[in-house]
Structure 1
């Protein structure tokens, strides 16, 4: 886990823009249209987990932010906390209220325009974490109101993370990664009800969304089948299979990838470090550990055992690095007052590993 603490106050006036642009770049953002470079000020407090998820609290002056390639292939989820903001996407402008949510897939060309000083909390979910979840395949940038329904719940969840982002440990972040993925899938299901998947009618998209949610809720059941799902929806198996094919993936592929992603998450989750690989694969619906291992290797190009071992080594390396530098293991001790950061002067954005 990496902690990033950045403030433009650590730089001379002449260096602040360069430093701000570089710091944003590490977070997967590109900045433009800053009204007054001389008045530029900005702070970033962010965590990066072992699973590649970024959580960051940003505050700065009026400007436009858009995702850049440096952030990797993923989805940015933004909670608007303060200021006047507008989402520019798909040729439209959508004003944002405080506590509204925005989701920005990489490569979509959308941007956020902040007309005043602002604060925003950003979570970046890697594409690999939602691979196999068909909702993500047809997603465009969009807004979710933060005052009702799943948007209200998700908004509250992210607001809590924003308040305590600097205090999160590695053990805290692993279950939070899973929660972020599930919230994102829920957000995408809302979008699909409003904008059906290309190739599906509204009624077909409704059936497809219900089936995908049923699969996600029953992944641990080894007996889940296309036949049982079709019976619940009162349609033929062939009809249901065609819906999956139109959406871009077969039923069996969707089911396998969804189970593999759940297994992969638990293989590196400290909460499940005592659970055997076999128990984890059984927990998520695989009947045969050997079959699970082959499927895992085919998807991720490594064995489950090697994947778990490498993740443990990565965490151990980070702990050793901190001990070797005489740093405490508690992330609270990483934080320094803003005044001390300002006195440092001319430092590049730094990440402290825990």
Structure 2
């Protein structure tokens, strides 16, 4: 389901009231305060990818608060992630404060009070998803709320780049309803959180889940290597190949199938990207570790029910 709202055309005296109502209904019940008493510019657009809500909010300076009172009105028990696209935001929760500049992101929990303040005209990408989608113990996530994750380095940089690209393609018909994309985005976020958490004292089941998230991140960072193998992955994480296969089997897949699936998804994203229309299909395949054009064509058809060239043409028709 897609959603769009703008305060343009609304009488100035009612603009902020409309905005406060929109963010409370779209996300969770909130109270909001404008920085000035004059008219308020606000635009909210987004869609639901399965159980993951993805929204871009652009607005004049204001502050939103999640209070005990608003929590009592409705508590869906979800996490929210805010990635700053423009301007600066200040997030406070659980005694911590994070200042987010463009490219930075932070996670927060709607079951507890928080404040998000925008001191200037700003644009933010917001993800909202059930807490159980993260393969991490809730207690460890609670220790990372209102913590700044930099968009310019490490795993968090990969997350940031992915989210910025998602924001740019939010209106693309090929993104609409992409449950795989939503799952992958949340998995990447889990990887960034896992890198910050201490797992020495967590139960074995949670520790395995965190390890799998890290392994998936490693795979993501090495998809361009056609020689990437289970042995390489196991060695990089100081585990046996047998244990690696067990982790993926418990997740309902195999190591090879997961690598192939992610490579094909990356190829699909490039094929659908207007900025990459001049790249040949062979070049795109090689970029993601699939240099054999005939294999790429067969695998892509098995995965998507059409050839790479057909997929590219369909994307061009949708954009037109």
Q: Give the TM interval when normalised to the shorter protein.
A: 0.5 to 0.7
User: What does residue range 154-173 of structure 1 map to in structure 2 within 5 Å?
Assistant: none
Separation of aligned partners in 2, 1:40 and 1:198: 53
Contact 1:8–1:41 (8 Å) recurs in 2: no
2:83 aligned residue (73, 78, 85): 78
Larger relative contact order, structure 1 or 2 (CA cutoff 8 Å, min sep 6): 1
Classify 1:118/1:250 alpha carbon distance in 2 versus 1 (closer, same or farther; 3 Å): farther
- Compute the displacement of 1:257 (Å): 2.1
Tell me the equivalent position of 1:178: none
- Compute the displacement of 1:169 (Å): 11
Separation of aligned partners in 1, 2:258 and 2:249: 10
- Compute the displacement of 1:145 (Å): 2.5
Tell me the equivalent position of 2:97: 96
Separation of aligned partners in 2, 1:262 and 1:253: 14
Tell me the equivalent position of 1:123: 125
Tell me the equivalent position of 1:242: 246
Contact 1:17–1:40 (8 Å) recurs in 2: no
Separation of aligned partners in 2, 1:250 and 1:54: 33
Tell me the TM-score normalised to structure 2 length: 0.58
Separation of aligned partners in 2, 1:169 and 1:292: 24
Separation of aligned partners in 2, 1:115 and 1:246: 39
1:144 aligned residue (143, 147, 150): 147
Q: Which runs of 5+ in 1 are unaligned?
A: 67-73, 88-92, 128-135, 171-180, 317-354
- Compute the displacement of 1:102 (Å): 2.0
Is it true that 1:190 corresponds to 2:192 in the alignment?
A: yes
- Compute the displacement of 1:248 (Å): 5.4
Q: Secondary structure of the residue that 1:188 maps to in structure 2?
A: helix
- Cα deviations by residue, 1:106-142 (Å, 9 ceiling, x for unpaired): xx85577437675554225799xxxxxxxx7526774
Separation of aligned partners in 2, 1:77 and 1:259: 27
Contact 1:101–1:143 (8 Å) recurs in 2: no
Classify 1:76/1:264 alpha carbon distance in 2 versus 1 (closer, same or farther; 3 Å): farther
Tell me the equivalent position of 2:76: none
| 4+ long deviations beyond 6 Å | 181-186
Tell me the equivalent position of 1:226: 230
- Compute the displacement of 1:255 (Å): 0.7
Separation of aligned partners in 1, 2:127 and 2:98: 23
2:216 aligned residue (206, 212, 222): 212
User: What does residue range 181-330 of structure 1 map to in structure 2 within 5 Å?
Assistant: 188-193=190-195, 194=197, 199-200=204-205, 202=207, 208=212, 211-247=215-251, 249-286=253-290, 288-300=292-304, 302-316=306-320
Is it true that 1:17 corresponds to 2:24 in the alignment?
A: no
Classify 1:231/1:145 alpha carbon distance in 2 versus 1 (closer, same or farther; 3 Å): closer
- Compute the displacement of 1:225 (Å): 1.4
Separation of aligned partners in 2, 1:43 and 1:86: 24
Tell me the equivalent position of 2:115: 114
Tell me the C-alpha RMSD between the 2 structures: 5.2
- Compute the displacement of 1:240 (Å): 1.2
Classify 1:8/1:272 alpha carbon distance in 2 versus 1 (closer, same or farther; 3 Å): closer
- Compute the displacement of 1:209 (Å): 5.4
